[in-house]
Amino acid sequence: MGIRSWRYGCMVLIALWGAASAAQPLRSGGTDWYPYSYEDDQGQAKGIAVDVVKRAMAQNGLQMEFLFYPANRLNLLLDNGTLDLNYADSPAWNAPDASSRFVYSRPYLRVREYLYFLSAHPERHSPLVQLQGLHIGLIRGYSYPRLADMQLQVVETSEDAALLDLLLRGRVDAIVMADDVLANLLATRQLDPKRITRSVQLSDAPLVIKLQRQFSDQLPALNATLKKLMDSGEVERIRREYLSRDANPAQ
């Protein structure tokens, strides 16, 4: 083989290798967090956040592999670089120094989390400062700055459904949950929303895609696509598709 042919062959191989590398799907991690993110009975990724981000990635020629982990494990895999992104994260849920390792897309949803009590609980309308010493149910791996300095008895579980069970059985005084999540749980179980009272708001977090910093060059195109999906009403359409028509948030 002549030198020119050998060089040409090397160039072709390099180009093919680069194309194959570019085609590798991004490893995206999430938690089982209905209706935002979950696996259906066939093992397919579903949910509001999943569908929004799928559309945004597809419109930019990017493929994703959806993987599900408990929150603690998910954060560890992101921190050590095993995962490329979390498709349903928020800067509000990350330490201030996370921006040195990750980049965030523009928000595409907002997640509002509250303390919820049974409606007969005497502290259901009390200000946060008066809730010292109560038993509060949380999802394991989640933290809330407004609760950080309080003397609370924290009970952790890995699933929202189990968290609701703790409240209904009187194992905790209150639980922390997103409004859409609780609304769907109550509707699925055909429980009267009046049984539960919404108390102190703990977060109003923008939901974003959190990517490893080496993918920052993808942000401008992703942000433009997310904006189009929001402005067209597609994001809200997806959200309402997942929310049961009978789901009414506790008041």
Statement: residue 21 has pLDDT above 80:
no
CA dist 177 and 197 (Å) reads 12
CA dist 248 and 187 (Å) reads 8
Query: Does pTM top 0.75 for this prediction?
Result: yes
Statement: residue 4 has pLDDT above 80:
no
- Write out the residue range of the structural domain in which residue 70 sits: 25-110+206-242
Q: Is 132 found in the same domain as 116?
A: yes
Statement: residue 2 has pLDDT above 60:
no
Q: Is 169 found in the same domain as 142?
A: yes
Let me know the angle formed at the C-alpha of 31 by 81 and 100, rounded to the nearest 5 degrees.
35
Stretch (H or E) spanning 208: strand 196-212
The pLDDT > 70 percentage for the chain reads: 88
| pLDDT value of residue 247 | 53
CA atoms within 13 A on the CB side of 231: 6
- Per-residue pLDDT of 175-233, as tens digits, reads 999 999 999 899 989 999 999 999 999 999 999 999 999 999 999 999 999 999 999 99
CATH number assigned to the domain comprising residue 85: 3.40.190.10
Q: Is 172 found in the same domain as 105?
A: no
How far from the centroid of its chain's Cα atoms is residue 4's Cα?
A: 53
Q: Is 115 found in the same domain as 164?
A: yes
Statement: residue 8 has pLDDT above 90:
no
| Residue 249 in domain | no
Number of helical (H) and strand (E) elements in the chain, helices listed first: 7, 11
| Residue 125 in domain | yes
- Per-residue pLDDT of 58-108, as tens digits, reads 999 999 999 999 888 999 999 999 999 999 999 988 888 999 999 999 999
Q: Is 115 found in the same domain as 103?
A: no
Q: Is 222 found in the same domain as 106?
A: yes
Q: Which of 178, 189, 197, 195 is nearest to 246 (CA)?
A: 189
| pLDDT value of residue 243 | 85
| pLDDT value of residue 7 | 52
| pLDDT value of residue 141 | 80
| Residue 66 in domain | yes
Secondary structure (3-state) at 134: coil
| pLDDT value of residue 246 | 47
CA dist 99 and 96 (Å) reads 7
| Residue 39 in domain | yes
CB of 196 closer than 8 Å to CB of 179: no
Q: Is 79 found in the same domain as 131?
A: no
| Residue 10 in domain | no
Q: Is 143 found in the same domain as 124?
A: yes
Q: Is 210 found in the same domain as 188?
A: no
Q: Is 165 found in the same domain as 90?
A: no
Number of domains making up the chain: 2
